[in-house]
Amino acid sequence: MAKLIPTAERIKRARALIQKAREIPVEAGGWEDFTRTARVKDTLRQARDLVKFAAYNPAVPAETKKEIQDLLDEIIRAEKEILHPGSD
């Protein structure tokens, strides 16, 4: 049976994954760009998967649900900032 992870720990891990995605180095052209894009998208997907259903849990307080929604918005912003810098 899968181990249950508390919501606070999920949020903490998701923030760490966002930071990890920001730290993926930019490499010089060619296939490295595709590899970096895939790594960034996969890391942010993992962060999103950690918290996406936690907001639907009735035991989670409203403040935490707001924090989760803010985190999901941050993931979207991070992807745009990392993969498309300067395009707003």
* Strand extents, DSSP E, 6-45: none
Residue 78, token pair as written in the block: 């991070």
Q: CA 34, CA 40: separation in Å to the nearest integer?
A: 10
Check: CB of residue 33 under 8 Å from CB of residue 27: yes
Write out pLDDT tens, residues 60-88: 899 999 999 999 999 999 999 998 887 66
CA 6 to mean position of chain CA atoms: 17
Task: Note the pLDDT of residue 32.
Answer: 67
pLDDT attached to residue 19: 97
pLDDT, tens digit (0-9, with 9 covering 90-100), for 27-61:
776 666 888 899 999 999 999 999 999 888 898 89
